[in-house]
Amino acid sequence: MRTPALFVLLALSVGATAGEIDRNTALQVMQRPDAVLIDVRTAEEFAEGALPGARRIETPDLAQRIGNVAPDKDTPVVLYCRSGRRSSAAQDVLEKLGYSQVINAGSYDQLAAILQRN
């Protein structure tokens, strides 16, 4: 009896793991005036192109600088990088700090292409 219950708990927790790319939600949240868009790529990557309104904060600096950008931990925060890996790590950092609405939008190139089409 314990094994099926444990399996159900594990299965339910898998869908809510931090770091998963949720581009559709990110695109919806980016339309909100209170949303904060953060690019966690390097300065060189950012200089090659960035989404309008994005603020560049690399993941290692995020815990130290997020309070200046989003002091309210209920602020919707959308993160992106080159592939989704660094934005996933950044999402973990922010969630551990208590931010409740953090979305990993994934890749800059894919987001830029979608936004260009719309």
Which residues are tagged catalytic?
A: 81
CA distances, 76 to each of 34, 44, 115, 116 (Å): 7, 26, 19, 22
**Other CB atoms within 10 Å distance of the CB of residue 90:** 28
- The C-alpha atoms of residue 7 and residue 81 are separated, in whole angstroms, by 34
CA 67: distance to chain centroid? 16
Pair 51, 80: CB distance under 8 Å = yes
